[in-house]
Each structure stands twice: as C-alpha cells, then as structure tokens.
Structure 1
Amino acid sequence: MPADPSALDLVLHPVRSRIVQQLGGRTRTTAQLREALPDVTQATLYRHVTALLDAGVVTVVEERRVRGATERTLALGDALAHVDQEGLRAMSTAQLASALRVFLADLAADADRALAADAPALRELWGFGRGPIHVDADDLAAIQEGFTALLAPYLEDGGEGKHRVSLATVLLPEPPEPPSAASTQD
C-alpha cells in the first residue's frame, strides 16, 4: 500500500485495489486485466487504470499497436510501497479500518476465485493459520527483514512447475486486558 495518504485513499477503492493486486509482482496488458476482472466493465476498468496512472501507482512499461488500437502493458509504479510504521501512524483510525477491510475483501475474493477454479492439483498450495507472537517494533522490523530475505528467491516467476500463490500477512495487536478485580484490590 502506498504511504502517501492521498494515494492510499485512491488505492482503497475496491476496483483499483483489485487492479493493483493483479499487477503485484508482474506486468499485465489492459486486455489481461479485463480477462482477470470480468465483472468490471471495460469503461470502468479504463477509468480506474487512468486514475492509478495519473497518481503514479501504476506505470506503462510498454505500448504496442494491436488492430489499430494502442495496447498498454502496465506494472506497479514508484508511488506504491509497503506502508511502514510511520505511514501507519499517519493513517486515521477510519483509514486503517478501511484499508484492512479492503485487504480482507480482496483476499476473500481471491480465495473465492481459486475455489471456483476447483483445481484439486493445486490444493497442496493452500494454507492458512493463526497464532500469537510476542514482539515489539524492533522485533517486527527484524521479522520483516527476515521475510524479505527468505522470500527473495521466490518473487520472480520460477518457470515450469511453479505456481503463483498469494502470501498475505496481517498483524492485529491485541488490546491490553483490563485489570482484573482481584489485582485492583491489592
């Protein structure tokens, strides 16, 4: 997600968020985006792509003539980056809640599309889990660096026999527990 609040608001739109998801780690032509997002009309798709291009969230990496029209190949632009701790602190509670809801909705929609494909051979690539960890901000930075190093060899298309999977992480801090009645009487 972009750290710039105006770009963040732009990307939080459900259609634009889905476009960004389609471009994550790869390039796509506008025709490929239309195929990947069949429920979005062509005019709506182009309007949202234009908004993302204008904001620098998406960039054109190639243009070519196809049957008299110009087909653009798109990729994520420089304005899109992971929201760091400073960016998260700058977000309002409403923006953070909205960003999380869009993220979860996109994740659920991706899961629905994968399930609709009903590809038993890909079931071994599914996985999800949840568990607590005990960290501070420095620990999270170290974990992020470790993830980056661990995942680096898998970010490019590995070729034959490799499948693209989406790895999503969510960190939800638990609010502190209210003091119990017994501890307040001491």
Structure 2
Amino acid sequence: MPLKNFAVINHPVRMRIFQALNGVELSINQLAKVLPDVPKPSLYRHIHKLLDAGVIHVARMRLVNGIEERFFTANEGLIDPADVYQPGGLEQFADHVRLYGTSVAQELADYVLKRGDPDLNNIAARDHVFYATEEEFKHVREAIYELLQTMETLPPAEGRIKRRIFIMGHPLQAAEMVESAETNAD
C-alpha cells in the first residue's frame, strides 16, 4: 500500500512505531516494552494517526479477561511517486529518507549496546562503493531484491530469527563533484 501522507510518518515517534511493527505483530503493551521512552497515552495517540493514514493495520485481535487486545503491524511502506512530485513533496521525501535511515541505524546501535558486543556474525554494516552504469546498478538492485524476497518467504524454524537488512543505494555526490572538477580541469 503506497504511503499517501508524509506528514503522518515523518515524525520521530511514529517512524519508530512503524519500524517496530515492520514484519511483526505487537499489542500496545508489547510496543510499550519495545519503546519504553514513549508514554502509553502517546503510543495510543500515534497508533491512531498511523491507523487513520493506513500506514499500519490491526493484524489480529484476542480477548484477555473480557477486553479486546489488538495487535498491529506495518503496511508495506512504498512511496507513491505522485506524492513526491506534489508541492513540497521532494523535501518531505528527503526528510522521510533521513528519518527512516536514522531510525534503522539507531536500532542497530541499540542492539549492539544491549548485547554488550558487536556480535559481528549477526549484524551487517558495510558500505560498498563501486562504479556502475544505470543498467548495471538496476541489475544489482534487482538481484538483491530477488534474493531478499526469497528469504522473506522462509517460515520460522529452529535457529531462524527475524532479521532486517536496510539497503540504500545512490550516486555519491562527493565523487561526482570531484570527477566533474577533474573533467573540467582537463
């Protein structure tokens, strides 16, 4: 489901809630344990905004002592290209990328700190820089996506834990600037 409203998701707490619900189902009580610095009344308020915007949905419900407990999960976070080309959309998209990437990096840092060691066999934090044409880059991107989509279909099993890989790929501005300056100097 494409994201229709950057203003809803481009909020530090709502982004953290969205990412906590990415690929898992959590109740408000479970979410409060994952985000202990966010008061429960704030969680309820942000959950309702995310629900109203269609960014998350109720995955299932159960009765606990006669009270309905709802479990939430994130909807696929695709960006609607039409949103990017609206007035102010490009800036909101840039804010979204910045906030999303920062949130993912913070989650990795929190994991490392909680464990007390970097656990290098269970994390991936690498930056690869390479030359590629648009077509070559598209091929690499699609191969990675295809492999990850295959991994997403694997069911839970002994020794399998839910993992996240966040991939960002773009031309390097600094390299473009240097190469442009060198070309103009010739």
After TM superposition, is the score higher than 0.5?
A: yes
CA distance in 2, matches of 1:179, 1:116: 42
Choose which of 105, 109, 117 in structure 2 pairs with 1:108. Answer: 105
CA distance in 1, matches of 2:72, 2:163: 20
Task: Quote the residue 2:78 is aligned against.
Answer: 82
Choose which of 37, 40, 46 in structure 2 pairs with 1:39. Answer: 37
Alignment CA distance shift 1:182-1:115 (3 Å): closer
Choose which of 171, 180, 185 in structure 2 pairs with 1:182. Answer: 185
Task: Quote the residue 1:54 is aligned against.
Answer: 52
* Alignment deviations for residues 4-47 of structure 1 (CA, whole Å, 9 cap, x no partner): 3x2x2211111111111112122222221111111110000011
Task: Quote the residue 1:153 is aligned against.
Answer: 150
Task: Quote the residue 1:127 is aligned against.
Answer: 124
Alpha-carbon distance, 1:56 to partner: 1.1
CA distance in 2, matches of 1:112, 1:120: 11
Number of equivalent positions:
178
Runs (5+) with no aligned partner, structure 2: none
Greater Cα shift, 171-180 or 31-40: 171-180
Alpha-carbon distance, 1:60 to partner: 0.9
Q: Which amino acid aligns with 1:125?
A: N
Task: Quote the residue 1:166 is aligned against.
Answer: 164
CA distance in 2, matches of 1:118, 1:81: 29
Alignment of 1:64-83 (within 5 A): 64-77=62-75, 80-83=76-79
CA distance in 2, matches of 1:47, 1:135: 45
Alpha-carbon distance, 1:96 to partner: 3.2
CA distance in 2, matches of 1:153, 1:119: 32
Greater Cα shift, 48-57 or 166-175: 166-175
CA distance in 1, matches of 2:14, 2:118: 31
Alignment CA distance shift 1:109-1:135 (3 Å): same
Alignment CA distance shift 1:13-1:157 (3 Å): farther
TM-score by length of 2: 0.79
CA RMSD of aligned residues (A): 2.7
Alignment CA distance shift 1:27-1:114 (3 Å): same
Given that residues 58 and 76 in structure 1 are in contact (C-alpha distance below 8 angstroms), is that contact kept between their aligned partners in structure 2? yes
Alpha-carbon distance, 1:112 to partner: 2.7
Percent of matched pairs sharing the same residue: 25
CA distance in 2, matches of 1:135, 1:121: 32
DSSP 3-state at the match of 2:70: strand
Alpha-carbon distance, 1:107 to partner: 1.9
Alignment CA distance shift 1:37-1:134 (3 Å): same
Alignment CA distance shift 1:23-1:139 (3 Å): farther
Runs (5+) with no aligned partner, structure 1: none
Task: Quote the residue 1:99 is aligned against.
Answer: 96
DSSP 3-state at the match of 2:18: helix
